[in-house]
Amino acid sequence: MTFGKDTASDNLEITLQYGERDVTMRLRGRLNIDSSPAVRDRLLLLLRAQTIKPVMVDLSDLSYIDSAGVATLIEGLKMAHTRQTTLCVQGLQGRVLHLFQATGMSALFEKSGCGRAPSMSEVS
């Protein structure tokens, strides 16, 4: 496995872990209008790579996400679909989980082959 670490802004840390079968992008902090361009750039690089692997986005250490962050994840999902690979989110909890469920984002990622997102009762 290979690791890479970067700070998108003062509010977000991006860590990449390259596995044999997939790539995991871990986000720590706040995914917002200031940090989402760096996440978008990383996602597009990963999804445009020669050897396309499924990309897992770990949000377990994400404390906040705004509409720009949501739009970035949706754009990544569209790109993955175009490239015939998978972009999944994992580690949804608290307010981020509630936002994904309230906006229908959980269902979007479930339809992309990521499995069922946890319900609020399973997290509590």
Share above pLDDT 70 across residues of the chain, in percent, rounded to a whole number: 81
DSSP conformation class of 51: S
* Total domains present in the chain: 1
pLDDT value for 109: 80
Average pLDDT over residues 31-38: 95
Average pLDDT over residues 116-121: 43
Supply the pLDDT for residue 112: 66
Boundaries of domain holding 19: 2-123
Q: What is the pLDDT of residues 41-90, one digit of tens each?
A: 999 999 888 677 899 999 999 999 999 999 999 999 999 989 888 899 99
Q: What is the CATH number of the domain that holds 17?
A: 3.30.750.24
Distance CA 73, CA 1 (A): 24
Helix (H, G, I), strand (E, B) or coil at 89: strand
| Residue 52: per-residue pLDDT | 76
Phi, psi of 21 (to 5 degrees): -105, -20
Q: What is the pTM of this model?
A: 0.81
The pLDDT score that the predictor gives to residue 8 is 54
